[in-house]
Amino acid sequence: MTRASLVLFRALLAAYPRRFRRRFAEAMEQSFREGYAHAATAGTAAALVFVVRACIDTGVNAVALRAVRLRDRVLWPDPIGLHQQKRTSDMWWQILVSDARYAFRMFRRNPVFAALAVVALGLGIGANTAIFTLVDSVLLRPLPYAHPDRLVMIWSSNEREHRDRDVVSPLDFMDFKRASAFSSVEAAYSFVIGGTWISKTGAEPITFTAVTSQLFETLGRAPILGRTFTPDDLQTGVLISYDFWQKRLGGDSAVLGRVLNIQYQPRTIVGVMPKDFIFPYRAMLGPSGFSSSLSVDMWFPLAFVDDNAFTRATATAPLSRQVRMLSVIARLADGHTREQASAELQGIARQIRGTHADTNGNIGVSIVPAHEQAVGSVRPALLLLVGGVGLVLLMSCINVANMLLARSTSRQRELAIRSALGAGRNRLIVQTLVESVLLGGLGGLMALAFLRLSVHGIVALAPPELPRLGEISPDMSVLLFAAALSVITGVATGLVPAFASSRGDVNSGLKQAGRSATSGRGQQRVRSALVILEAALAVVLTVSAGLLVRSFVSILSTDPGFQVEHLLTLQLTIPPKYNGTEQRRTMYADLEARLRAIPGVTDVGGTTRLPLGSTNVSTKINIEGRSVPPSQWPEAEFRRSVFDYFSTMGIPLRRGRLFTKQDGPNAPPVCVINETMARQMFAGIDPVGRRIKFGSADGPWVTIVGVIGDIRHSALDAPPQPEVYINYLVNPPSNPFIVLKTNADPASIVPAVRAQLQAVDKDIASNDIRPMTGVLSNSVAERRFILLLAVSFGVLSLLMAAVGVYGVMALVVSERAPEMAIRLALGASPSRVLQQVLQYGLVLAGAGAALGVAVSAVVAPSMRSLLFGVRPVDPFTFIAVPSLVVAVAVAACAGPAWRSMRVDPVRALRME
């Protein structure tokens, strides 16, 4: 007996009334076991059939029992009543089969209706299944670690700068390891490094990070080849990713022990991680965190070194409390809750604060579940999509329900005859429901047929930064979801028509013989209500989409503070043979001369942190003449300017001067700050000429020589932060971004740029060569993706509303053709008839729009986190969108209205 079927059966037993359950549940389960054992002797297929039948039977009877007081009106003809009142010897599945056969006959007789209904439901179910796949993969599925619910991230919190998830300093990390609430506490670089692998064919870009040696054990994942790190590996070992192994090393099975030249150092491969292993997720990195790539190619063992011996390129971390550079991940010990762990960590943080007030004066600690950390940021947007796509499905249900209703009107005679021949009301209800569930099922099949395609589409549209993008794929739960949704959709679609049509009066139904059928007052009211509801839903969906569009427009119209056009950007890795600053300066001079000589290049600049495309690193600012303890020093983003960075980028100078070639190592140290820093740290005074120090108390005083305009660095919708720049000549960076101003298409000079880099030194690796417009577009990719989906749902909803209104109005017009004919014959002007029809449509759409506006006003504030530069109840959107919906609805009325005006009195009356 498979556990699953027993669990399912027990779940169904839970649906029985308690008294019944107490008395029979055990015996029922026993007979189920025995039946299963018997069926299983005939093979797996027979066992499966048995389980399906037994479960449906058990479910159905639970419903029947629950409804026993209403027995005569129950949904089910009762084959085990004591008295034989009707022809009820059929078992329930025989009834279902005959109803299904009947439904298929109806579909064949009316293929257009059936096809339309299946397509409408299929679209709705398909869109929902695709979005569910996305949500399931990103939000619901556990992270690819063992017992991921016991994993948490530990962050330092900086009360002064209001950052609650700041990266952790190595010494703080070591103190956190003492906490007994965790079975292990491990750390990784809070950033990913773009490095260089010298392969046989030359310098190739790679990405890597460094992790403490027990990190893989903490995550509960082992390599598929080789082993994890041992203490002997610190200087020489490396673990590679499955992708790197397959794509860059050709899946070589003898890969263990192979030595790679990485960062110009030999590294021995000790293991290969499994294909589905991902660490870190982007959101697990600190604010200084990511390169443009999504996953790392390899992991280095993280070695802790003396504060002075630290260089990032060799995977070391300084034993310091000042330099915050670690993402810390920990596994809760058995029997400990997150709250206990948090309390214990708070205690440790307080202790550190007491003993190291200079560095940890404002530093607390916070703890976040690993899953929440990885995907929490996209949850609101995905939930918005789930809501939107759900409404779209509701609208397709309404449309199909309306079609079923309309058809049931024209089938009234048939239904009347069936009911006169003895079909009870229940049978008619069941019949209609069977039909609509079949439509839903066919729609579901259609949705599944296109599932792979639609998921591929979503993945292709999705921004590369979407967390867990690579893990998006339909699995068993998606299939179950689609199946359940199909049934629910079918039932939901059929309920209204089922009850509405079964209420038909036999007598009048039969009397209408020979006359065209018209729907009763009640049915018309139901249909009008459905149309109003549909218009309201369309308003809600389109208002949401409209708000997102307005946010997007206001983001794109945000001035980034620099010229985006005609800029080419790239990142370089300078080999360590240039490790002397003088050697680097010489190389930089050569590089600048060669880049300036490229035809089409008008200006050359560079920096250590490219806006909208890279990360952040901040430093404490000690301002001369202010007696503030180090823990109270303000922070600023720290960058270096390379060549003529500000003029190349078009960043304006506000005060003082920019750097010159004279601001070298032998000149007095100078820096340039941005307007936000000038405003926040030098309110009311001229910062030019003032002196500051970076970070620690020792080091030279640096004079501020200029103030430049603010730029948007992290994102277009993130406000500018204080920034300070020093000139590259003081200590030329080894991982600079280069920007080239061109007077032609930036892409056209890429080959020339590569050639010149080769000419400088063939070991210089270049990454991410792309125009600045691409960098900017990439920075809004996630928002654009959500927007695209939301807008397509909005458009779909408008379409559905139009179809719904059209359908109802067409029916109204065709039913009332005789009445119109009489009016026209009696001399009413055609335009008056037209006006009446349009008016009716306008009233329905107007009522729907009003309802939709009310609902939107309630719902919109929950979207606040997704909006930018627009209030949730945005007057423009709230007026424009309902008007659009009403206009679409009235346009949908136009066809039927036009026909109503052209009713031929003679023909219409003759039909009577």
Partner 1 sequence: MHMTRRPDADVASLLPLTPVVFEILLALGGGEQHGYAIMQDVAERTGGRIELHAGSLYRALSRLLEGGFIEELDERPAAAHDDQRRRYYRLTLLGTAVARAEAERLEAQLAVARERRLFRRHT
Binding site for partner 1 (CB under 8 A): 9, 12, 20, 23-24, 26-32, 34-35, 38, 53-54, 57-62, 64-65, 79-84, 88-89, 91
Minimum distance between the CB of residue 30 and partner 1, rounded to whole angstroms?
Answer: 4
In this complex, which beta carbon is closest to partner 1, that of residue 32 or of residue 299?
32
Minimum distance between the CB of residue 405 and partner 1, rounded to whole angstroms?
Answer: 33
Minimum distance between the CB of residue 337 and partner 1, rounded to whole angstroms?
Answer: 39
In this complex, which beta carbon is closest to partner 1, that of residue 61 or of residue 877?
61
Closest alpha carbon to 263 in 203, 197, 202, 212: 197
Using CA atoms, how far apart are residues 792 and 850, in angstroms rounded to an integer? 23
Minimum distance between the CB of residue 52 and partner 1, rounded to whole angstroms?
Answer: 10
Using CA atoms, how far apart are residues 749 and 760, in angstroms rounded to an integer? 17
Find all residues with CB under 8 Å of 429, minimum gap 6, and list them: 75, 498, 499, 502
Using CA atoms, how far apart are residues 326 and 156, in angstroms rounded to an integer? 10
Minimum distance between the CB of residue 436 and partner 1, rounded to whole angstroms?
Answer: 24
Burial of 746 (0-12, 13-18, 19+ CB in 10 A): buried
Minimum distance between the CB of residue 79 and partner 1, rounded to whole angstroms?
Answer: 5
DSSP string, 770-796: EEHHHHHHHHTHHHHHHHHHHHHHHHH
DSSP string, 440-472: HHHHHHHHHHTHHHHHHHHHHHS-TTSTTGGG-
Is the CB of residue 177 less than 8 Å from the CB of residue 185?
yes
CB atoms inside a 10 Å sphere around CB 358: 11
Find all residues with CB under 8 Å of 195, minimum gap 6, and list them: 205, 206, 207, 208, 262, 263, 313, 573
Minimum distance between the CB of residue 431 and partner 1, rounded to whole angstroms?
Answer: 21
Minimum distance between the CB of residue 89 and partner 1, rounded to whole angstroms?
Answer: 5
Is the CB of residue 766 less than 8 Å from the CB of residue 538?
no
In this complex, which beta carbon is closest to partner 1, that of residue 34 or of residue 358?
34
Tokens of 224: 């598929």
Return contacts of 77-85, CB within 8 angstroms, 24+ apart: 77/424, 77/426, 77/427, 77/430
Minimum distance between the CB of residue 29 and partner 1, rounded to whole angstroms?
Answer: 7
Minimum distance between the CB of residue 418 and partner 1, rounded to whole angstroms?
Answer: 23
In this complex, which beta carbon is closest to partner 1, that of residue 84 or of residue 308?
84
In this complex, which beta carbon is closest to partner 1, that of residue 426 or of residue 862?
426
In this complex, which beta carbon is closest to partner 1, that of residue 82 or of residue 421?
82
In this complex, which beta carbon is closest to partner 1, that of residue 49 or of residue 828?
49
In this complex, which beta carbon is closest to partner 1, that of residue 17 or of residue 895?
17
Minimum distance between the CB of residue 39 and partner 1, rounded to whole angstroms?
Answer: 11
In this complex, which beta carbon is closest to partner 1, that of residue 56 or of residue 589?
56
DSSP state, residue 117: H
In this complex, which beta carbon is closest to partner 1, that of residue 19 or of residue 162?
19
In this complex, which beta carbon is closest to partner 1, that of residue 40 or of residue 479?
40
Using CA atoms, how far apart are residues 750 and 771, in angstroms rounded to an integer? 10
Minimum distance between the CB of residue 440 and partner 1, rounded to whole angstroms?
Answer: 24
Minimum distance between the CB of residue 81 and partner 1, rounded to whole angstroms?
Answer: 6
Using CA atoms, how far apart are residues 594 and 617, in angstroms rounded to an integer? 30
In this complex, which beta carbon is closest to partner 1, that of residue 57 or of residue 763?
57
Using CA atoms, how far apart are residues 259 and 263, in angstroms rounded to an integer? 13
In this complex, which beta carbon is closest to partner 1, that of residue 56 or of residue 469?
56
In this complex, which beta carbon is closest to partner 1, that of residue 11 or of residue 911?
11
In this complex, which beta carbon is closest to partner 1, that of residue 12 or of residue 492?
12
Give the side-chain half-sphere CA count within 13 A for 388.
32
Using CA atoms, how far apart are residues 908 and 254, in angstroms rounded to an integer? 86
Give the dihedral of Cα atoms 400, 406, 409, 410; nearest 10 deg: -100
Minimum distance between the CB of residue 423 and partner 1, rounded to whole angstroms?
Answer: 19
Strands 567-573 and 737-742: antiparallel
Using CA atoms, how far apart are residues 527 and 809, in angstroms rounded to an integer? 10
DSSP string, 714-775: S-TTSPP--EEEEEGGGS--SS-EEEEEESS-GGGGHHHHHHHHHHH-TT-EEEEEEEHHHH
Minimum distance between the CB of residue 77 and partner 1, rounded to whole angstroms?
Answer: 11
Using CA atoms, how far apart are residues 243 and 256, in angstroms rounded to an integer? 15
DSSP state, residue 517: P
Strands 326-332 and 182-189: antiparallel
Using CA atoms, how far apart are residues 408 and 674, in angstroms rounded to an integer? 71
